[in-house]
Amino acid sequence: MCCQSTFFVFSTIMLVSSRSSFFKHEPSIFSQRVTHAVAVSLVYYIKRKERKIKKRAEIYYRDNSPCSSPKIRRRRTSVEEIYEQLGPTYFTRAYRMSYESFVKLVEKISPYLPQSDACMARVNGPISDATRVAVALRYFAGGSPLDIGPLYGIHVGEVLKSVWRINYGLNCQAVCDLRGRFLELSILYPGSTSDCLAFEGMNLYSRLENGLLKEGLCLFGDNAYVNSKFMATPYTSASGAKDAYNFFHSQLRIRVECAFGMFTQRWGILRCMIPKKISLKKQLPW
């Protein structure tokens, strides 16, 4: 094939060169350009045909050879099987929650999960909602998609589809107790929004104005918030008793910072930038 192709190109070039004398204006330069263009085009065409023939031969040999290996299909591994292999202790350590809490989480968010791709399900079977939630939790905890995919018998691309990834600054408003347990959480505004505006946009703010807390109870926040009957803020310039008040105020307020520290320590994905963009509109609480 290569010898015939080379002879065909050489014959064409000689044919164009022999006919170049019929051109009136600069026959030598024109013939050289035409010869070069025809040669490059033919060589490209012949190489392309050779690659196609070679690829077809490889496919034919692979499919019809008695020594060819069968197609490897992925075996879906359920979360129940993973739980039986790990046990309750290691399952809680890997997925940052107990198996009972995981089952409740799947029941709550299953109606909001997108449907599996029907074309992909024909090959290896559908991916269950429990598997998608487990994959996302393991990824949030710091797991690698290259390790999560083979564990559950799914492609790395399906691992990334199960994860909502963003690359945008968000203003997160949270309320916690003395033990660092989150009682209220709101992520409605971009990072450029002030804390006071984001707090007033929470559903909690309207409930506090309507008398949610009992008499004598309040929230502790820094100077980014407005001092009110349900929000205690520190003094801006203090000395004596006011300075002592600011000290104990900071000891209470630091609990929410510790809660976020424990939260990021548990979910390793929060310690790095999440690479995907989303669009947010600035909203006003009124």
pLDDT tens profile 107-138: 998 888 877 655 555 667 778 889 989 998 88
Same domain, 131 and 59: no
Same domain, 257 and 200: yes
Same domain, 176 and 267: yes
Q: What is the DSSP letter of 112?
A: G
Calculate mean pLDDT across residues 271-282: 57
pLDDT at 120: 55
Same domain, 41 and 91: no
| Residue 240 forms part of a structural domain | yes
| Residue 284 forms part of a structural domain | no
* Residue-wise DSSP of 196-244: HHHHHTSHHHHHHHTT-SPTT--EE--TTS---SSEE---SS--THHHH
Of residues 165, 174, 160, the one with CA closest to residue 255: 174
φ, ψ at 219 (rounded to 5°): -100, 155
pLDDT at 232: 92
Same domain, 148 and 174: no
Task: State CA 57 to chain mean position distance.
Answer: 40
Q: Which domain holds residue 201?
A: 170-271
Q: Could you give the CA distance from residue 74 to residue 223 in angstroms, rounded to a whole number?
A: 56
Same domain, 156 and 174: no
Same domain, 153 and 174: no
Same domain, 178 and 155: no
Same domain, 141 and 211: no
User: pTM here?
Assistant: 0.47
Same domain, 175 and 244: yes
Question: Using one digit for the tens of pLDDT, what is the confidence trace for 57-91?
Answer: 555 445 444 444 444 567 788 899 999 999 999 99
Last residue of a domain, one of 100, 129, 161: 161
Q: Could you give the CA distance from residue 66 to residue 155 in angstroms, rounded to a whole number?
A: 29
Q: Give the gyration radius of the chain's Cα atoms.
A: 34
Last residue of a domain, one of 13, 34, 64: 64
- The total of structural domains in the chain comes to 3
Beta strands 231-232 and 219-220, pairing class: parallel
For the chain, the residue count is 286
Token readout for 125 is 């079977």
Calculate mean pLDDT across residues 176-183: 90
Cβ atoms of 161 and 131 within 8 Å: the answer is no
pLDDT at 23: 44
| Residue 194 forms part of a structural domain | yes
Same domain, 150 and 117: yes
What is the average pLDDT value for the chain, to the nearest integer?
Answer: 76
Cβ atoms of 162 and 132 within 8 Å: the answer is yes
Question: Using one digit for the tens of pLDDT, what is the confidence trace for 151-166?
Answer: 888 877 777 777 754 4
Question: Using one digit for the tens of pLDDT, what is the confidence trace for 200-257?
Answer: 989 999 999 998 998 889 999 988 899 999 999 999 888 889 899 999 999 988 899 8
| Residue 281 forms part of a structural domain | no
Same domain, 107 and 36: no
| Amino acid (1-letter code) at residue 115 | Q
Cβ atoms of 190 and 169 within 8 Å: the answer is yes
Kindly tell me if the per-residue pLDDT of 282 is higher than 70: no
Last residue of a domain, one of 161, 192, 211: 161
pLDDT at 69: 40
Task: State CA 180 to chain mean position distance.
Answer: 28
